[in-house]
Amino acid sequence: MEETYRLGCDIGGTFTDFVLVNNRTGQFHTNKCLTTPSDPSDAVEQGIRQMAETLPGFMDRVEEVIHGTTLVINAIIERKGAKTGLITTKGFRDVLELGREIRYDAYDIFSEYPEPIVPRALRMEIDERITADAGVLKEVEEDQVISVLEKFKKTGIESLAVCFINSYENPVNEKKTKEIIEREAPDLFLSTSFEVLPQIREYERSCTTAVNAYVKPITYRYLKKLTSRLWSMGFSGKLFIMLSSGGITSVDTAREFPVRIIESGPTAAVIASQYYGNMFDIRDIFCFDMGGTTAKSCLIQKGHAGLVSTFEVGRVQRFKKGSGLPIQVPVVDLMEIGAGGGSIAKINRLGLLGVGPESAGADPGPACYIQGGVNPTVTDADLVLGYLDPDFFLGGAMALDIELSKKSIREKIAAPLGTTMVEAAFGIHDLINETMAAAAKTHIAEKGGNPNTITMSAFGGAGPVHAYGLARKIGAKAILVPPLAGVGSALGFFTAPVAFDLSRSHRMGLEKADFKEVESLFQELEQESAGILEDVARGREILFERTLLMRFVGQGAETDLSIENFAFDSFSGEEIRALFDTEYKRLYGRTYKDTPVELVTFKVRASLPRRPFSIPKLTCHMGDGENCDMASCIKGERRAFSIIQKDYIPFTVYDRSKLFPNARIPGPAIIEERESTIVMGEDADARVDEFGFIWIAFINKNRANGRARGKNHELPD
C-alpha cells in the first residue's frame, strides 16, 4: 500500500515546528527551524525542504497539512495590521475608547490602556437604530452609506468593520450596509458584527469585529501565499488551520474569521495534553507549554480543557486582566504564565533582576545563537548552567556559543549586581521558574484545583528544561513528558477535531421563554455551522454539541450549561432551572433559587468524527525490551547546576531515542532528544512507559541526600 502522510506545522515566535506522521505505520518524522518574522511562510518552505532531504517526494503523498500560526496575534500586539475603518451607529463612535469604564488597577492613577485598534479619525457614524427587542426604529439610508464610503476612500483604508447597536437581535441594517459596501467598494475587506460575533456586549462585539477587520488582509495574503508555496512543492491535499477553540477549520473560514485563530499554536498543546490525559485516565492534568517567546498553561479537569468566551490580547500590563483588547470568541482557557527561552534578562528600574516580557525572538535571538544578539536570555542561562549541550542543540543542526552567553550574562547582569556569572545565570533560571510558579498556582486555584494532586505535562522546546524546577515550586506530584514534546503543538494538531463554533444572543426570561423558539434557534445555528464544514465533511456525519448561557436577571456574567445535543423543547423549565442551580452552586458554593434567571446566549459546536490517531508503542533498539541495556542509552556525563546543592554536580546524560519500555532513570539526569531536553535533579526518578512517555516522580529527602555525589568546582567564570 502506498505510504500517505499528514503534516503538522506550527509557527512560533522563535521556532517553526514540523511533525510528519505516516498514516499506515504511525511513524513520526520531525523538524525544527528558526521562524522568519518578515515572512513566516519562508520558514515553512525551508523546513519542508529540509525534511525532503531525508524523505524525497513525500509532499506528493501528504493528504493534509494542519497549520497553526502566531501571525494574527503578533500583528495585533505589534500593531502591524491593515489600515482599518469602522462604521457604527450614530452616538456610538467612541465605544472602542470608552470600553467598560472599569479601572483594571483601582490604585494606579497612572494606569494605561491599549490604543483602540481603529483610531477615532477612522470611525464614522450612520443614523440608524435597532431596538433591544429587535424592532427597526430607523432604517439605513443608502445615501449615508455611500457618503461615508467616499470619506473612507480618501483615507486609504484597506479594511472596514461594521458594527451597529443591537444588530445581534436583528441584523437587517448591517446586511443592507454590507450589500451597499460590496457593490460600491468591492476591493475593501469587510467584517460585519452579525457574522463575526452576533452576541450582546457592545464594547466586546465592536472590538472583536474591528480586530477581525484589522488582521483580515494580512491573513488573506499570508494564507494565499502559503497555499501557493505548498502547491509548488507538490502538495495537493487539504490545508487546515488550527482554531483558538481547539478545533481545526478550512482555509476559507480562517480567511473570513482570522480573529478565531489568534491562539492557534498554544491551543494545540492543550488539546494534545487533553488527549494524553484521557489516554492514561488522568483526572487533572496541568499543561505547561514553554517555547522561545512565551509560556502558556491550562488546567485540564475531568478530561476536558475548558473554553472561555472572552480573552484579552496586547495587554499594557502583561498579567493584569482588563489592560488588553477584549476578544469575544471561543478559546481554550489558556493562561500566559511567563516568558520563554528567548526572553531577555535585564536590570530593572529598581536595580533588581527582571526577565521578559521582551524577547530576542528568532532574529537576532539569544546571544548564544551567534546571530548578533547581545542581550542575555533564559536560553543563555540554561546553557551556562549546563542544562543544554551546545553541540547538540536541534540535534546538532544549530551550534551554540557558550562563551557569548557567559559574556552577555557577565556584562549585563553579574557586573551591575556585583555577583558572579554563575549566580547571575541561576538567578535568571530561578526567577523565571518563580514567576511561572506564582502564576500557575493562581490559575490552578481559580479553577478549584489542587497543585499537590495534579500531573504536569511539559511541552515546547524550553518546557522540559524548566518543568522539574516549576513542579518543585508548585508542589506537583508528577511530571509527564510525552514523545516529541519539543514539537508538542505540531503533534497536537493530529488530536484536534475538524470543528467550528457559532453563537447567538437572544435574551429571554426562563419563566416566559418559548422553548420551541429556542429549539428553532439552535437548529438555525446547526444548519449554519454545518454549511461552514460542508466542504471538508465530504459526506461524513457532522456532530453537534449545544451550550446554553444563563444568568440571574440583572447579573453581568453568564454561566455555561452543556446540554449536549438534546432537543431543547424536550426539557421543562424546572429541569433547565435545576441544571443552572447545580452548576452555579458547583462554581460559587451557593445559588439563589428565589431569584429569576434568563437565557442569554446559545452556542453550537459542529464537528466531524475524530480521525484515527495513536502514539505507536516503543520498541527496544536492541530487540527484546527485557534484554535492553541501560548503558547503551547513556551518552556520557555533564556537570550541571543542582537546584538543591546550588553547585555544579555530574548529571548523567541519556539519549531519549535509545530508551526502551520500563527503563528507569535515577536523578540527577539530563535526557536529550533533537527537539528538547529534559532536566531532572537528584530528588527525582523517571521511568519510561510502553509508548515512550517519560514519567518523573519526586522522592523523599533522605533518598535524595543519599544520592548526592558531593560538590564539584564551578565552571570557570
Query: Is the distance from CB of 269 to CB of 19 less than 8 angstroms?
Result: no
Helices (H), 326-420: 378-384, 402-409, 415-417
pTM: predicted TM-score of the whole model, two decimal places: 0.84
> Does 9 score more than 80 pLDDT?
yes
Lowest mean pLDDT among 192-206, 518-532, 585-599, 620-634: 620-634
pLDDT tens digits, residue range 416-425? 999 999 999 9
User: What is the spatial distance between Cα 662 and Cα 689, in angstroms, rounded to a whole number?
Assistant: 6
pLDDT, residue 565, reads: 79
281 CB-near residues (< 8 Å, 6+ apart): none
> Does 626 score more than 70 pLDDT?
no
Question: What pLDDT band is residue 711 in, cutting at 50, 70 and 90?
Answer: very low
Question: What pLDDT band is residue 696 in, cutting at 50, 70 and 90?
Answer: very high
pLDDT, residue 190, reads: 96
Query: Is the distance from CB of 333 to CB of 306 less than 8 angstroms?
Result: yes
Section 154-160 average pLDDT? 95
> Does 373 score more than 90 pLDDT?
no
Smallest Cα–Cα separation from 339: which of 296, 394, 278, 387?
296
> Does 712 score more than 50 pLDDT?
no
pLDDT tens digits, residue range 429-454? 999 999 899 888 988 888 878 888 88
User: What is the spatial distance between Cα 619 and Cα 114, in angstroms, rounded to a whole number?
Assistant: 53
pLDDT, residue 107, reads: 82
Section 666-674 average pLDDT? 92
Edge to edge, the sheet with strand 499-509 lists: 499-509, 597-607, 543-552, 559-564
pLDDT, residue 665, reads: 94
> Does 378 score more than 60 pLDDT?
yes
| Percentage of the chain lying above the pLDDT 70 cut | 96
User: What is the spatial distance between Cα 674 and Cα 639, in angstroms, rounded to a whole number?
Assistant: 20
**Sign, CA torsion 161/166/168/172:** negative
Q: Mind listing the domains of the chain with CATH numbers?
A: 5-75+236-261 (3.30.420.40), 76-220 (3.40.50), 499-607 (3.30.1490), 630-707 (no CATH)
> Does 622 score more than 70 pLDDT?
no
Smallest Cα–Cα separation from 481: which of 629, 272, 707, 639?
272
pLDDT, averaged across the chain: 88
What are the grid coordinates assigned to 388, written together?
Answer: 543544554
pLDDT, residue 356, reads: 77
pLDDT, residue 522, reads: 93
> Does 717 score more than 50 pLDDT?
no
User: What is the spatial distance between Cα 604 and Cα 503, in angstroms, rounded to a whole number?
Assistant: 6
pLDDT, residue 715, reads: 37
pLDDT tens digits, residue range 313-371? 877 776 678 888 899 888 888 887 777 888 889 998 888 888 877 778 777 889 999 88
* Residue 150 falls in which region: left (phi positive, over 0), alpha (psi -120 to 50) or beta: alpha
User: What is the spatial distance between Cα 517 and Cα 95, in angstroms, rounded to a whole number?
Assistant: 32
> Does 621 score more than 80 pLDDT?
no
3-state SS string for 178-206? HHHHHHHCCCCEEEEHHHHCCCCCHHHHH
**CA angle 399–361–674, rounded 5-degree value:** 40
Section 572-592 average pLDDT? 91
pLDDT, residue 704, reads: 55
The torsion angles phi and psi of 715, rounded to 5 degrees, stand at -65, 150
User: What is the spatial distance between Cα 436 and Cα 552, in angstroms, rounded to a whole number?
Assistant: 36
pLDDT, residue 361, reads: 75
Alpha-carbon distances of 138 from 133, 135, 173, rounded to whole Å:
14, 9, 9
> Does 88 score more than 90 pLDDT?
yes
User: What is the spatial distance between Cα 480 and Cα 547, in angstroms, rounded to a whole number?
Assistant: 32
Q: Please identify which residue in the block is written with the cell numbers 469604564.
A: 101
pLDDT, residue 87, reads: 97
pLDDT, residue 439, reads: 86
Lowest mean pLDDT among 130-134, 251-255, 390-394, 616-620: 616-620
pLDDT, residue 688, reads: 93
Q: Identify which has the larger pLDDT, 384 or 393.
A: 384
Cβ burial, residue 452 (10 Å; 0-12/13-18/19+): exposed
SS3 581: helix
> Does 91 score more than 80 pLDDT?
yes
Angle formed by the axes of helices 142-155 and 172-184, to 10°? 50
DSSP 374: -
Lowest mean pLDDT among 21-25, 491-495, 573-577, 703-707: 703-707
> Does 625 score more than 70 pLDDT?
no
Lowest mean pLDDT among 196-205, 249-258, 561-570, 592-601: 561-570
Q: Identify which has the larger pLDDT, 13 or 142.
A: 142
pLDDT, residue 165, reads: 95
> Does 716 score more than 50 pLDDT?
no
Section 186-192 average pLDDT? 95
Lowest mean pLDDT among 43-57, 485-499, 605-619: 605-619
Section 14-27 average pLDDT? 86
pLDDT, residue 702, reads: 55
What size, in residues, is the chain?
717
pLDDT, residue 315, reads: 77
Angle formed by the axes of helices 421-446 and 402-409, to 10°? 80
